Structure 1
Amino acid sequence: MDLSIVIVNYNTKKLTIDCIQSVLNSKLNFQYEILVVDNGSSDGSVEQIKSLFPHIKVISNKENVGFSKANNQAIRRCSGRYVLLLNSDTIVNENTLDTIICFMDRETSIGAVGCEVNLPDGTLDKACHRGFPTPEASFYYMIGLAQKYPTSPKYNSYHKSYLNMKEVHDIDCLVGAFMMVRKEVIEQVGLLDEKFFMYGEDIDWCYRIKEAGWRIVYNPTVSIVHYKGASSRKKPLKIVYEFHRAMYLFHKKHYAKKYNFFINSVVYTGITLKLAFATINNLLKKVH
């Protein structure tokens, strides 16, 4: 088996079906399997997916166990040389998978690869091309210097948009919406960290992959479409909390020991304040 495609579904029945169909429509000259993990959906997803695609492996959870844990459930059952994390709210273009596998077969130093991820309006989903969220990078991004100086390696190290976005190059972080990883890399660095419920697990994985000496590469010669946030719209407060919690977990795990007490305190205070403002803003929107 060459490729194992893992899709996590949570109440996105139509999107998931469209995503699976886009994979089946791909011009793929390799053996592949699709594994769908359902996180306790209430929209009839499991029954519909099993009916339409009886050859697909479906893992059905009774509750929403989170993105990391659900992916890990499937990864443990994957038999492919490569494992692709693919969001349920994506559409894969017909040449994307074949091109990426051929690319990985040629470039054996690459541990994980991503492609150009576009939003429905054609603009780039910036999450597919990131630097690690160091305190400095996060600070410049939060105060607006990254947006003001997009071509500056110093101020825009968060999204690294100063790099040529039309050329293949190494990057720090990919996005879990489309991330192809070598099976041997997973065996070396381990599965996704299940402390991350639905944000930050992709950044953490990329960090560990690079620490192990593998390259992370952005390949914009192929692309997908990402209907972003489709499975997270119904519980916005939970989403806001998990997003900020992931920031805290990542810093504590990878950076806290590298910085002094003052810097760490500033980081944790900043995350707490950002969470408070985001929560208040969310509640105000509900009132109006």
Structure 2
Amino acid sequence: MQLSVIILNYNVRYFLEQCVLSVQEAISTLDAEIIVVDNNSSDESCLMMKNKFPNIKLIENASNFGFPKGNNIGVSQASGKYICILNPDTVVAEDTFVKILAFAERQTDLGIIGCKLIDGTGGFLPESKRGIPTPWIAFTKILGLYKIFPKTKLFNQYYAQHLGENETGKVDILVGAFMFLERNLYKELEGFDENCFMYADDIDLSYRALQKQKVNYYFHETTVLHYKGESTVKDEKYMKRFQEAMTFFYKKHFKKSWFFEFFIQIGIWFFSFVKMFQGKVKSKPLPESVFFCSSNKILSEKLPSILKNKVLFLDLKKEKMVNSCLLFKGKRGEIILDNHYISFKKCIKMIETLKDKNITFKIFPKNTNFIIGSNSRNDRGQIIKIE
């Protein structure tokens, strides 16, 4: 078997369904499997999987074991030469795994591959590629020096800015939302360190791959949609766990010193403080109008009453989608992309191409009864039921 995709879920039932649908499309031409591990969700995620995807392997944990252990359980059941650790609040393109498999097969001393991630508004997620957060690199992050001097090596290493978002190349650290590697390497590394609950686990795994003289890569030729805020809401618990995770990583991999401990504690506090307030996002006002990109005229006539808003129907049989949607530029509007007629790859491309602070996006996944999306990388996302 070529590939095993491991999706660890916790209480994101609708995002999980969309994710699995996109992965099914992406592995349709491959010898591959999907393994969903559920960390004791209370939102009927498991019931949905059993009813809608009865042939997909589902592992139901008796409690929330956290990100490291949950993924380790999934990988222990995997059969693929390669594995992909994938967040449930992601959407992959139909050719994502075909492209990354081809890239992986060309490499020697392969470590971990990450890809270009965008959030639900189309914005690039800079954590798609990072450097090792040493004290100095953490310092440049804390003071925002990487923003002031993005092209200066001394200051731009936190987000690996030596490499553009549209360039493929070597990086140190990749994000746990999408990590692609050989299963044998994962086993050699003994998987994620289960002593760390969340947030330092991907940094730790990436760093240990480097210690094995492996090469980690950022691969820009496929883009994955990562809603980000959906799996992990930024609250007081988040701040506490983030502090614990960063403390864990530094104590594990760096020598202790008074200066180091003092500096890192300040850095951890600052990061946690910023992260907590990033999560407090004001709700956006209702869009002035909604653009429904589809060929389903019957649904387009029902949507105004469901959305309680004006809906403009873009019939894909008659009009060019991109040119028509460009009319939204500068206006406060929402674009709903009907996956029955628009591939996941095109949905992702549309969101990335038309990103604008005044435009929000939703996807109507095929064979579902809901519209889904996120207006901010820090919020829980929105689900609109269609009965």
How does the TM-score come out when normalised to structure 2?
Answer: 0.69
Q: CA deviation at 1:102?
A: 1.2
Q: CA deviation at 1:269?
A: 4.0
Q: CA deviation at 1:28?
A: 4.5
Whether the 8 Å contact between 1:19 and 1:91 is mirrored in structure 2 is yes
Whether the 8 Å contact between 2:167 and 2:220 is mirrored in structure 1 is yes
The equivalent residue for 1:248 is 247
The equivalent residue for 1:260 is 257
The worse-fitting range, judged by mean Cα deviation, of 79-88 and 194-203 is 194-203
Q: Distance in 1 between the 2:263 and 2:222 partners? A: 40
Whether the 8 Å contact between 2:132 and 2:172 is mirrored in structure 1 is yes
Give the aligned residue type for 1:238: K
Give the aligned residue type for 1:20: V
Written as runs of structure 1 = structure 2, the 5 A alignment for 1:101-180 is 101-180=101-180
Q: Note the residue ranges of structure 1 that are not aligned, 5 or more in a row.
A: none
Q: CA deviation at 1:165?
A: 2.5
Q: Which digits, 9 at most, give the CA deviation of each residue in 1:194-246, with x for residues without a partner?
A: 1221211111000000100110001101111001120222x721111111211
Q: CA deviation at 1:121?
A: 1.8
**Alignment pair present for 1:96 and 2:93:** no
Q: CA deviation at 1:272?
A: 4.1
Percent identity, aligned pairs only, is 36
Q: Distance in 2 between the 1:86 and 1:283 partners? A: 22
**Alignment pair present for 1:271 and 2:254:** no
Q: Distance in 1 between the 2:238 and 2:164 partners? A: 32
Q: Note the residue ranges of structure 2 that are not aligned, 5 or more in a row.
A: 282-387
The equivalent residue for 2:20 is 20
Q: CA deviation at 1:29?
A: 3.0
The equivalent residue for 2:229 is 229
**Greater share of helix residues, 1 or 2?**
1
Partner SS, residue 36 of structure 1 = strand
Q: CA deviation at 1:124?
A: 1.0
The equivalent residue for 2:202 is 202
The equivalent residue for 2:346 is none
Q: Distance in 2 between the 1:280 and 1:46 partners? A: 30
The worse-fitting range, judged by mean Cα deviation, of 26-35 and 12-21 is 26-35
Q: Distance in 1 between the 2:105 and 2:63 partners? A: 37
The equivalent residue for 1:187 is 187
Q: How many residues align?
A: 282
Give the aligned residue type for 2:237: K
The equivalent residue for 1:11 is 11
Q: CA deviation at 1:263?
A: 2.1
Partner SS, residue 231 of structure 2 = helix
Q: CA deviation at 1:282?
A: 9.1
Q: Distance in 1 between the 2:35 and 2:153 partners? A: 39
Q: Distance in 1 between the 2:225 and 2:279 partners? A: 30
Q: CA deviation at 1:284?
A: 9.6
Whether the 8 Å contact between 2:8 and 2:39 is mirrored in structure 1 is yes
CA separation of 1:155 and 1:273: change in aligned 2, threshold 3 A: closer
Q: Return the index of the structure with the highest Cα Rg.
A: 2
CA separation of 1:51 and 1:220: change in aligned 2, threshold 3 A: same
CA RMSD, 1 decimal: 2.2
Give the aligned residue type for 1:154: L
* Aligned structure 1 segments of 4 or more residues deviating by more than 6 angstroms: 282-285
Q: Distance in 2 between the 1:6 and 1:130 partners? A: 23
CA separation of 1:248 and 1:34: change in aligned 2, threshold 3 A: same
